[in-house]
Amino acid sequence: MESPLNYTIRLALSLGSSWKTHSLPDDCPWRAFTVKVHRAHSHLIILPKRDARTFLADMPDDSSLADLLLPGTHDTMALYGWPISQCQDLATPLVVQLNAGIRVLDIRMAVIKGKLIAYHGIYPQRTPFANVITTLRDFLANVPSETLVMSLKQEDFPATSAADFSRIVHDEMMAIPELWFLENRIPTLREVRGKVVLLSRFGGDGSGWEGGLEGLGIHPTRWPNSAREGFEWTCKGTTVRTQDWYNIPSFLDIPEKVDKAVGVLLPPPGDKSTLSISYFSAASFPLALPPTVAKGFGWPKAGFGVEGVNSRVGRWLLDRLAVCADIEEKDQPRIRGWALTDFFQDPESALVPLLIECNYYGR
């Protein structure tokens, strides 16, 4: 009889860590995490290793996109302008994000010489919208089990009218019309595998689009700026709970930011017609720049530094997954929604796999 494979895990937390992922051989079907619960005690959590590139293939066709937990990136194309405008590492361009399991994209554009170019505020991010579209098409052609949600927002209101921006977006998107899902409702996976679902944070009155505002994809009816307590809007009978409080006063507000961002991912009891959109990102000058908020600094658990949003969210996810493993999964509210983060590979490329794992619990 062939003997089973054995794997050795060296349990050690680095100075100041509240949790850690452990290196295992590539052929190991598991991921291992330790979570510190006391100065001298940690929990060991073992989770299956999922294929992030194709994880939606495991989800039922009749799943609503509101019933999934989709990892996303805030300011997906913001690779330049550290430390103020950069929100993603230069080593993680769009194709890397897609292969890592990112399924919600936050694309922001400005019109430059008649063409759409990625921008974050006033800082150019260099990538043409046409290149973004090509990358999305190529990825979905190779992995047709997946779907992508693309939030698109205008960044150059002073220079370009809403009508002109909308027209240019339409013209560039319609170069590949079959790529898009443009109905103003929350679809099921069956309807949008191999497609990009548009979330339009632009559009004016919808002129030039087939169906007007009803042909602009999911179209928010309101989006107040940096609402601390979040806000709600409706999309064809679905309540969309949105948490996008980004203008936090300083890094001292990171704990409150995290509490609000993760809280919206837990659905209201008995409510099956809710979509949650949560931005883990935040920024203000000079005490809450994007890298500081996402990554933190120093050795916080040793009392020297601040734990960042990403690490805190990772700890929260591990705690929830551990609870689900200990008791009946069906008795626990399932984490779901669209979760967008800055510097998504920090810490230790573990946050996205933890978000993905939540889709497998409670089904």
Q: What is the pLDDT of residues 295-318, one digit of tens each?
A: 999 988 777 899 999 999 999 999
Domain identity same for 127 and 220 = yes
Domain identity same for 44 and 109 = no
Nearest CA among 200, 185, 198 for reference residue 154: 200
Contact 115, 175 (CB under 8 A): no
Q: What one-character DSSP code corresponds to residue 159?
A: T
The pLDDT of residue 94 is: 99
120 is annotated as an active-site residue = yes
Domain boundary among 29, 49, 69: 49
Domain identity same for 102 and 27 = no
Token code pair at residue 66: 């509101």
Classified as helix, coil or strand, 23 is coil
Domain identity same for 31 and 83 = no
Domain identity same for 13 and 143 = no
Which tens digits make up the pLDDT trace of 346-362?
Answer: 999 999 999 999 999 87
Nearest CA among 165, 158, 157 for reference residue 200: 165
The pLDDT of residue 291 is: 98
Domain identity same for 183 and 239 = yes
Mean pLDDT of 74-89: 97
Contact 246, 106 (CB under 8 A): no
Which tens digits make up the pLDDT trace of 176-194?
Answer: 999 999 999 999 999 999 9
Contact 43, 30 (CB under 8 A): no
Per-residue pLDDT at 84 exceeds 80 = yes
The pLDDT of residue 90 is: 98
Above pLDDT 90, what percent of the chain? 80
Q: How many domains does the chain have?
A: 2
Contact 359, 55 (CB under 8 A): yes
Confidence at 5, pLDDT banded by 50, 70, 90: low
- Could you please report the per-residue DSSP string of 270-326? T--SEEEEEE----BTTTB-HHHHHHEEEEGGGTEEEE-HHHHHHHHHHHHHHHHHH
Nearest CA among 189, 347, 341, 212 for reference residue 277: 341
Domain identity same for 294 and 172 = yes
- The least confident of 84-93, 180-189, 200-209 is 200-209
- Provide φ and ψ at 299, rounded to 5°: -125, 80
Domain identity same for 11 and 72 = no
Domain identity same for 157 and 168 = yes
Mean pLDDT of 265-276: 86
CATH number of the domain within which 191 lies: 3.20.20.190
The pLDDT of residue 269 is: 78
What pTM value is reported for the model? 0.95
Beta carbons within 8 Å of 138's beta carbon, 6+ residues apart = none
Residue in 38, 41, 74, 219 annotated catalytic: 74
- Provide φ and ψ at 189, rounded to 5°: -60, -40
Average confidence score pLDDT of the chain: 93
- The least confident of 125-134, 156-165, 270-279, 340-349 is 270-279
Domain identity same for 69 and 19 = no
Domain identity same for 205 and 309 = yes
- Provide φ and ψ at 156, rounded to 5°: -125, 50
Confidence at 325, pLDDT banded by 50, 70, 90: low
Contact 187, 224 (CB under 8 A): no
More confident residue, 235 or 40: 235
Which tens digits make up the pLDDT trace of 246-260?
Answer: 999 999 999 999 999
The pLDDT of residue 273 is: 84
Q: Residue 31: give the domain boundaries.
A: 1-49
The pLDDT of residue 362 is: 73
Bridging pattern class, strands 231-235 and 196-201: unpaired
Which tens digits make up the pLDDT trace of 104-142?
Answer: 999 999 999 999 999 998 889 999 999 999 999 999 999
Domain identity same for 148 and 286 = yes
Residue in 22, 41, 43, 120 annotated catalytic: 120
74 is annotated as an active-site residue = yes
Per-residue pLDDT at 1 exceeds 60 = no
Contact 217, 184 (CB under 8 A): yes
